[in-house]
Amino acid sequence: GESVGLHLPTLSVQEGDNSIINCAYSNSASDYFIWYKQESGKGPQFIIDIRSNMDKRQGQRVTVLLNKTVKHLSLQIAATQPGDSAVYFCAETSNAGGTSYGKLTFGQGTILTVHP
Amino acid sequence: NAGVTQTPKFQVLKTGQSMTLQCAQDMNHNSMYWYRQDPGMGLRLIYYSASEGTTDKGEVPNGYNVSRLNKREFSLRLESAAPSQTSVYFCASTLGGVYTEAFFGQGTRLTVV
């Protein structure tokens, strides 16, 4: 279903803390998941991805966890910095029908604010 | 290397006017997409082009048309703009194939009055 509402979930942390952003996805057929970061006035920027045959993937300061049983995805940011302040979106997709992996279904987004 | 470029960045239209949003990518990607983003919401897919010469509807296609002009360019047209089309529009592209990430443009902020 479509998200309705103008108030995004927010997460406020102190610089240096670890941040965890959660996302519930809807389609059991989705097999590719991506986290995007969107700064004010800019387009979404790729952070990290994970395929459905994995339950954890690590990047630089970021870790994505996937729990397919409960259709839940999380993004962990280690040692959060003020430059990490942005809106974070999870997105899901699949290659159902061979229509390519760019047909993304986005979550509502979470506003992360990092205080110095 | 510009990536995905959208023009214009900002636009104000009166109800009933038409306009075309332009998108071009220089990454030799096969697939291109148009999304809209409304306040407090994630992006929603309007139309996409899986490969040159093909286009298909996404989640919210009503009121829009698209043209895949060539491999690089994918335009979005509003024939008769409505206030409900006030939004930020993003173009994206992917290489195509499996597990390929989408690259997004900077967006076009459209206001229909």
SS (H, E, C) chain B: CCCEEEECCEEEECCCCCEEEEEEECCCCCEEEEEEECCCCCEEEEEEECCCCCCEECCCCCCEEEEECCCCEEEEEECCCCHHHCEEEEEEEECCCCCCCCEECCCEEEEEC
Q: Which residue has the tokens 């059991």?
A: A28
Per-residue pLDDT band at A28 (split at 50, 70, 90) = confident
User: Which residues in chain A are closer than 8 Å to B40, comparing Cβ atoms?
Assistant: 3, 5-8, 108-109
pLDDT exceeds cutoff 90 at A108: no
Q: How far is CA A12 from CA A87, A113, B54, in A?
A: 12, 5, 44
At A84, phi and psi to the nearest 5? -85, -10
pLDDT band at residue A102 under the 50/70/90 scheme: low
The C-alpha angle with vertex B100 and arms to B96 and B103, in degrees rounded to 5, equals: 90
Residue B35, φ and ψ in degrees, nearest 5: -120, 155
Q: How far is A4 from chain B (nearest CA, A)?
A: 7
Q: pLDDT at residue A80 above 90?
A: yes
Give the pLDDT of residue B92.
95
Q: What angle do CA A44, A112, A35 make, to 5 degrees?
A: 40
Encode pLDDT of B59-76 as tens digits.
999 999 999 999 999 999
Interface test with A, best of B100, B106, B108, B109 (most A CBs within 10 A): B100
Rounded mean pLDDT, B41-54: 91
Name chain B contacts of A3, Cβ cutoff 8 Å: 40-42
Q: How far is B1 from chain A (nearest CA, A)?
A: 16
Burial of B90 per CB tally in 10 Å (0-12, 13-18, 19+): buried
DSSP lists the bridge partners of residue B30 as none
pLDDT for A4:
36
How many interchain CB pairs under 8 A, A with B? 87
Q: What is the mean pLDDT of residues B39-54?
A: 89
| Beta bridge partner(s), residue A45 | A37
Grade residue B104 by pLDDT with cuts at 50, 70 and 90: very high
